[in-house]
Structure 1
Amino acid sequence: MSAASDSPPALVLVAAAVVIERGRVLLTQRKVGAHLAGAWEFPGGKVEADEDPRDALVRELREEIGVEARVGDIVEVTYHRYPTRPVLLLFYEASFAEGSPAPAALDVAAVRWAELHELRDELFPPADVAVLAKVRARLAGAWSDQRVEPA
């Protein structure tokens, strides 16, 4: 068996939100100095050890953009191997809880609502590209303005 330093990097589990309102999807921009700085992505973040991915997503949305969220069903699951680590991403339908503040850039470079024509693959991290086709289809009318029902 190889030494610990020779073992492959641990898989990183990430939960991300697909929030669609009024024909637009919510995006955040990665901060300067972060891996893939400047890229636009679906808001969310790393799931901690022993944390439920849905709870992690609610926590990350609160920390990064100051919103209270409701998490719905899985939209997409993707796996991507970056040069330094493999990542498994769980993309969930999400909406804002009643009374939630508007999203603000608390721990991200920027927050914005993007329309269908603004969702270009090259603006996103490679791991997010797989879900873009589904989001584009939903923005084109198949899923627009649907809300996640409270649990």
Structure 2
Amino acid sequence: MLVVAVALVDGSGTVLMQQRHFDAVHGGLWEFPGGKVEPGETPEDAVVRELAEELGIVVDAEALETVGFASGQTVPREKGGKGPSRPLVILLYACRVWQGTPAALEAADLAWLVPGAIGDLAMPPLDYPLAEALCRHL
């Protein structure tokens, strides 16, 4: 499964993180906004779509900076961790320009953090190497 994630970086250098709804897989954990790449989409098109759906903002795909990736296994969807896991690759982009004000349309909460503090959050396992890659990138 291919997933995209985005580090929105504001003018002061802080990064937007979102908290997953508590009833979701990895509920309550913090993550970079993003989601699955749909069939027929490029990763960049998926970023544009996901940020519109999740945060209500408009992003130009040309404003995306490639940061890095992480890979591993998905967490089974069924409660109790049952069911098959699948290979997962997350592509992380940074974006410094967008239109609109980010809102938690599909998340429990949003927070702007300095890049060095992101690794201190409770996050899904693959977000930690992404946070490290972001600190090297910025």
Same fold (TM over 0.5): yes
Distance 1:86 1:51 in 2: 19
User: Which amino acid letter does the alignment assign opposite residue 18 of structure 1?
Assistant: A
**TM-score normalised to structure 2 length:** 0.81
Post-superposition shift, 1:117? 4.7
Q: Given the alignment of the two structures, is residue 53 of structure 1 paired with residue 77 of structure 2, yes or no?
A: no
Equivalent residue, structure 2, for 1:113: 112
Q: CA deviation at 1:136?
A: 2.8
User: How far apart, in 2, do the equivalents of 1:18 and 1:122 lie?
Assistant: 15
Superposition misfits of 4+ residues, deviation over 4 angstroms: none
Q: CA deviation at 1:28?
A: 0.9
Counterparts of 1:70-149 in structure 2, within 5 Å, are 70-71=60-61, 72-83=64-75, 84-97=85-98, 100-121=99-120, 123-138=122-137, 143=138
Aligned to 2:5: 16
TM-score (normalizing by structure 1) = 0.75
Structure 1 gaps of 5+ residues are 1-11, 144-151
List gaps (5 residues or longer) in structure 2. Answer: 76-84
Q: Which residue of 2 aligns with 1:40?
A: 30
In structure 2, what is the equivalent of residue 146 of structure 1?
none
CA contact (8 A) 2:8 2:95 kept: yes
Paired positions, count? 126
What RMSD, in angstroms, separates the aligned Cα atoms of the two structures?
1.7
Conservation of the 8 A alpha-carbon contact between 1:69 and 1:95: no
The whole-number CA distance in structure 2 between the counterparts of 1:131 and 1:110 is 20
| CA distance in 2 between partners of 1:27 and 1:58 (Å) | 17
Q: CA–CA distance in 2 between the matches of 1:32 and 1:85?
A: 22
Contact 2:54 2:104 in 1 (8 A): yes
**How far off is 1:85 after superposition?**
2.4
CA distance in 1, matches of 2:94, 2:129: 15
